[in-house]
């Protein structure tokens, strides 16, 4: 029996379920191939420990080693792979987002023998069975005279795939580490072409070899999704919430209507999903509420219409955003807004437009990150053209919540750091509510500080904001405070602390 070892570096980052590995491993097992995973994440008890990795690799004795590589984790994949090369001759295959977006750059390093581009289930199986990437569609590899990138095969038919492999993960440990939240994927693809996202690049890669974009968006049937949910509820304990990680869960109203009819008969467990303001109305909100949705998440990214259109390729107005949030609130759905700061071409006014929009729509929660230009995306090209990327920091960042690799000029850089550090206070202060005058005073103080003063005072300001949060909470006023993690603001009327995001 052949053996495949998967390595998933996910260091100094949030715990995440790797759908790609679960799908591929499920397919390999059906074909009689044994699999194992090294899920390298310090929060799961597996830090970057080369001696431990060596012991696990040699004990398992894999025929092939497959790395799932995110751009922020590429340096760790190279480091781990380089060490593995010292004691095994097993071929190393790099797959995932980073090799798909930059296959030639990935193959320029000595560590990987080949890369798997795009959807990898069938390609990786073929390579393992054949023992050679040459002539295998979706594969890239090195030859003496250069690099060969084989054409991509058609998009995977999801109905042909076996059940995802949860056993390869210590899945109960992941459930408990995430306070009972369990990720699901009902389909693949997105109808939008946002510049910062990988979807437009993947569509172009497939289109270049004749595969039409209309086949990119695919869905498991409602019954397939419900069967998977029943399996998880039967096999694992302490599941409190499902979270659908589909880019847009709500785009197909007929599918959603069937789901709303059937889901409550399978489980009373609430769920979270992603939506888009241009595909959200009272009808969608009704179906979600009927099914048992607790939280609906929207990607806003910026409150600046200029930035959304010119930089992000998100063609929606603030009015569209306000209507979608109003519809969700009408049906008592807890709303979550995603946003990015430190975007290419962002100016002070754009940042403050984001603050003002959030203060106006009053989402149940919001989550912010620092913009990271992923190689291969149009947003990367925009940032590069603007000479706004600090490439040394870009190479060394582990995540996009702690630091930024963008350089937008001294004045904007300073405001980005202030907003990142005190966003809840900014939104409270800009709400216009009389009860928020304390926050308004602190925000005015922050806005007036120069760089050295801000660096000196920021720790003390965090303490003052925390004290004001406690005092405001005692009054019963509705306000935002940092909760669950350092990059999430939650409205004070959310009371269920057992369901942390």
What does residue 199 show for φ and ψ, rounded to 5 degrees?
-60, -45
Please provide the DSSP assignment of 46-71 as one string: B-S-HHHHHHHHHHH--SEEEEE--G
| Residue 243 is assigned to a structural domain of this protein | yes
pLDDT digits (tens, 9 = 90+) for 62-115: 999 999 999 999 999 999 999 999 999 999 999 999 999 999 999 999 999 999
Res 500 pLDDT > 80: no
Q: CA–CA distance from 15 to each of 46, 122, 223 (Å)?
A: 12, 27, 28
Both 143 and 203 in one domain: the answer is no
CA distance 114 to 58: 21
Residue 258: band (very low, low, confident or very high) from pLDDT cuts 50, 70, 90: very high
Q: Number of folded domains in the chain? A: 2
Q: What is the CATH number of the domain that holds 438?
A: 3.80.30.20
Structure tokens at 164: 């995802």
Provide the pLDDT for residue 498: 56
Residues 302 and 440 in one domain: yes
pLDDT at 180: 95
Mean pLDDT throughout 42-52? 97
The mean pLDDT value for 409-420 works out to 98
Rounded to 5°, angle at Cα 117 from 166 and 84: 70
Q: Are 314 and 426 in a shared domain?
A: yes
DSSP secondary structure, 385-430, as one string:
HTT-B-HHHHHH-S-SSS---B---HHHHHHHHHHHHHHHHHHHHT
pLDDT score recorded for residue 22: 97
Q: Residues 228, 130: contact at Cβ < 8 Å?
A: no
In sequence order, which residues have a C-beta less than 8 Å from that of residue 350 and are 6 or more positions away? 302, 303, 304, 306, 307, 343
135-158 pLDDT, tens digit each:
999 999 999 889 999 999 999 999
Q: Which residues of 139-157 are buried (b: 16+ CB within 10 A; e: fewer)?
A: bbbbeeeeeeebebbebbe
Mean predicted confidence (pLDDT) in 404-414: 97
- Of 190, 110, 102, 15, the closest CA to residue 394 belongs to 102
Whether residue 397 is found in the same domain as residue 287 = yes
Token pair recorded at residue 350: 């754009």
Which of 428, 467, 422, 465 has its CA nearest to residue 447? 422
Same structural domain, 125 and 189: no
Residue 162 lies in a domain: no
Region 337-359: mean pLDDT is 98
Span 216-231, pLDDT tens digits: 999 999 999 999 999 9
pLDDT number for residue 402? 87
Q: Are residues 33 and 137 in the same domain?
A: yes
Q: Do 194 and 81 have their domain in common?
A: no
Longest pairwise C-alpha distance within the chain: 72
DSSP string covering 467-481: HHHHHHHHHT---EE
Which of residues 151, 171, 203 is at a domain's end?
Answer: 151
pLDDT (mean) for 292-313: 97
Q: Tell me what pLDDT residue 497 has.
A: 59
Residue 67 sits in a domain whose CATH number is: 3.40.50.280
**DSSP conformation class of 310:** I
| pLDDT higher than threshold 80 for residue 209 | yes
For position 482, what pLDDT does the model report? 96
432: left (phi over 0), alpha (psi -120 to 50) or beta: left
Whether residues 112 and 231 fall in one domain: no
Q: Quick check: 499 pLDDT over 90?
A: no
Residue 501, pLDDT score: 47
Strand partners, 181: 241
Please indicate, yes or no, whether residues 292 and 427 belong to a single structural domain of this protein: yes
**Cβ(118)–Cβ(202) below 8 Å:** yes
Torsion sign, CA atoms 485, 488, 491, 495 = negative
Mark 185-213 as b/e (b = at least 16 C-beta within 10 Å): bbbbbbebbbbbbbbbbbbebbeeeebeb
Task: Answer whether residue 496 is part of any domain.
Answer: no
Q: Three-state DSSP class for 114? A: strand
Instruction: Classify residue 353 by burial, with Cβ atoms within 10 Å: 0-12, 13-18, 19+.
Output: buried
Tokens describing residue 12:
């100094």
Tens of pLDDT, residue by residue over 439-467, are: 999 999 999 999 999 999 999 999 999 99
Cα first-last separation, the chain: 41
Cα dihedral sign for 129, 130, 135, 140?
positive
Domain that holds residue 394: 179-491
What are phi and psi for residue 114, nearest 5 degrees? -160, 170
Q: Looking at the structure, do residues 131 and 197 belong to the same domain, yes or no? A: no
Any domain includes 401: yes
Give per-residue pLDDT as tens, 270-283: 999 999 999 999 99
**Nearest partner of 4 among 117, 73, 90, 79, judged by Cα:** 90
Q: What is the mean pLDDT of the chain?
A: 96
In terms of domains, do 107 and 198 share one? no
Could you give phi then psi for residue 104, rounded to 5 degrees? -70, -40
Cβ atoms of residues 289 and 332 within 8 Å: yes
Average pLDDT score over residue span 173-182: 94
Mean pLDDT confidence for 27-53: 97
Q: What is the spatial distance between Cα 241 and Cα 295, in angstroms, rounded to a whole number?
A: 10
């Amino acid at each position: 029996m052949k053996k495949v070892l998967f390595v998933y570096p996910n260091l100094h980052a949030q715990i995440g379920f790797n759908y790609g590995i679960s799908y591929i491993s499920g397919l390999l097992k059906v074909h009689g191939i044994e699999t194992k995973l090294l899920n390298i994440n310090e929060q799961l008890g597996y830090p970057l420990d080369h001696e431990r990795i060596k012991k696990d690799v040699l004990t398992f004795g894999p025929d092939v080693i497959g790395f799932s590589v995110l751009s922020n984790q590429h340096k760790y994949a190279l480091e781990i792979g380089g060490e593995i090369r010292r004691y095994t001759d097993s071929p190393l295959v790099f797959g995932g987002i980073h090799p798909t977006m930059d296959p030639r750059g990935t193959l320029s390093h000595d560590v990987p023998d080949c890369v798997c581009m795009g959807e990898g289930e069938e390609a990786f199986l073929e390579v393992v069975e054949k023992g050679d990437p040459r002539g295998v569609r979706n594969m890239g590899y090195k030859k003496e005279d250069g690099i060969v990138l084989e054409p991509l095969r058609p998009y995977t038919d999801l109905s042909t795939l076996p059940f995802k492999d949860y056993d390869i993960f210590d899945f109960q440990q992941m459930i408990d580490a995430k306070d009972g939240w369990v990720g699901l994927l009902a389909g693949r693809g997105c109808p939008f072409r946002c510049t910062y996202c990988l979807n437009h690049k993947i569509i172009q890669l497939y289109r270049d070899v004749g595969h039409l974009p209309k086949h990119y968006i695919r869905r498991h049937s409602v019954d397939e999704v419900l069967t998977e949910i029943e399996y998880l509820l039967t096999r694992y304990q302490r599941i409190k919430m499902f979270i659908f990680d589909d880019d847009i869960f709500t785009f197909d109203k007929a599918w959603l209507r069937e789901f709303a009819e059937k889901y409550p008969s399978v489980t009373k467990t609430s769920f979270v999903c992603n939506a888009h303001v241009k595909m959200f109305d009272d009808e969608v909100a009704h179906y979600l509420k009927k099914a048992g949705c607790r939280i609906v998440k929207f990607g806003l990214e910026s409150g600046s219409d200029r930035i959304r259109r010119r930089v992000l390729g998100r063609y929606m107005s603030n009015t569209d955003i306000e209507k979608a949030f109003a519809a969700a609130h009408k049906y008592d759905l807890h709303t979550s807004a995603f946003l990015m700061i430190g975007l290419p071409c962002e100016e002070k006014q754009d940042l403050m437009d984001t603050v003002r929009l959030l203060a106006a729509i009053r989402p149940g929660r919001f989550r912010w990150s620092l913009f990271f230009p992923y190689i291969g995306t149009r947003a990367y090209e925009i940032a590069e053209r603007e000479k706004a990327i600090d490439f040394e920091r870009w190479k060394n960042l582990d995540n996009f919540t702690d630091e930024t690799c963008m350089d937008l000029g001294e004045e904007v850089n300073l405001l980005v750091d202030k907003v990142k550090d005190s966003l809840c206070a900014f939104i409270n202060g800009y709400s216009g509510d009389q009860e928020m005058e304390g926050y308004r005073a602190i925000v005015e103080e922050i806005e007036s500080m120069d760089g050295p003063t801000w660096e000196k005072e920021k720790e003390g300001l965090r303490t003052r904001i925390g004290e004001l949060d406690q005092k405001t909470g005692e009054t019963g006023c509705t306000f935002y405070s940092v909760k669950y993690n350092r990059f999430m603001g939650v409205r004070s009327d959310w009371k269920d602390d057992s369901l942390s995001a």
